[in-house]
């Protein structure tokens, strides 16, 4: 198991591991669809706005959610302490058809900025912390 530690989620770890075992790949990455940072406009050829969606989820497609299940063979892709996991290792693993994606459609938020921290703290303080499963 591998995680960056800066993502908060309600991923079912048991289901993630079962998915990984079933797919028999070297690495399973958890794929998530983050909420867009901005409102999205659908504009026609006359510059008329045909629809407006405020911060739709999944606008940017599926992204790396930062939760992985890995087999020991991943170490052949890591050349040393300076290796960046998202570069040569994950790119090589994908190229070798050894990367699969567990699509998580539940709660996921990054904790990369002060705004993210404040948003997550607000969820916690108002008892809306979907990741709190205890």
Residues 3-34 pLDDT 10s = 998 999 999 999 999 999 999 999 999 999 88
| pTM passes above 0.75 | yes
79-131: pLDDT as tens digits: 999 999 999 999 999 999 999 999 999 999 999 999 999 999 999 999 999 99
Residue 134 lies in a domain: no
pLDDT band at 59 (very low <50, low <70, confident <90, very high): low
Residue 106 lies in a domain: yes
Q: Residue 93 is part of which domain span? A: 2-125
Residue 131 lies in a domain: no
Specify the pLDDT at position 49.
Answer: 82
Residue 39 lies in a domain: yes
3-state secondary structure 55-103: CCECCCCCEEEEEEEECHHHHHHCCCCCCCCCCHHHHHHHHCCCEEEEE
Specify the pLDDT at position 55.
Answer: 73
Backbone φ, ψ for residue 59 (5° rounding) = -60, -35
Residue 133 lies in a domain: no
pLDDT band at 60 (very low <50, low <70, confident <90, very high): low
What lies within 8 Å, CB to CB, of 92 at 6+ separation is: 77
Confirm if 3 and 66 have CB atoms less than 8 A apart.
yes
27-55: pLDDT as tens digits: 999 999 888 777 777 888 988 788 887 77
> Residue 52 corresponds to which tokens in the numbers above?
């407006």
Residue 132 lies in a domain: no
Confirm if 103 and 31 have CB atoms less than 8 A apart.
yes
Instruction: Specify the DSSP element, H or E, that contains 16.
Output: helix 13-23
CA separation for the pair 35, 4 (Å, rounded) = 20
Residue 48 lies in a domain: yes
Number of domains the chain is built from: 1
**What CATH number has the domain bearing residue 67?**
3.90.550.10
């Amino acid at each position: 198991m591998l995680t960056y530690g800066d993502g908060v989620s309600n991923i079912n770890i048991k289901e993630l591991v079962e998915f990984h075992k079933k797919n028999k790949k070297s690495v399973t990455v958890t794929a998530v669809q983050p909420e867009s940072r901005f409102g999205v406009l659908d504009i026609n050829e006359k510059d008329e706005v045909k629809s407006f969606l405020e911060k739709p989820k999944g606008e940017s497609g599926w992204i790396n959610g930062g939760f992985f299940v890995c087999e020991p063979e991943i170490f052949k892709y890591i050349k040393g302490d300076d290796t960046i996991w998202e570069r040569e290792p994950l790119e090589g693993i994908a190229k070798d058809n050894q990367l699969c994606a567990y699509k998580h459609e539940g709660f996921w938020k990054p904790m990369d900025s002060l705004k993210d921290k404040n948003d997550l703290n607000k969820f916690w303080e108002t008892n809306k912390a979907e990741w709190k499963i205890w």
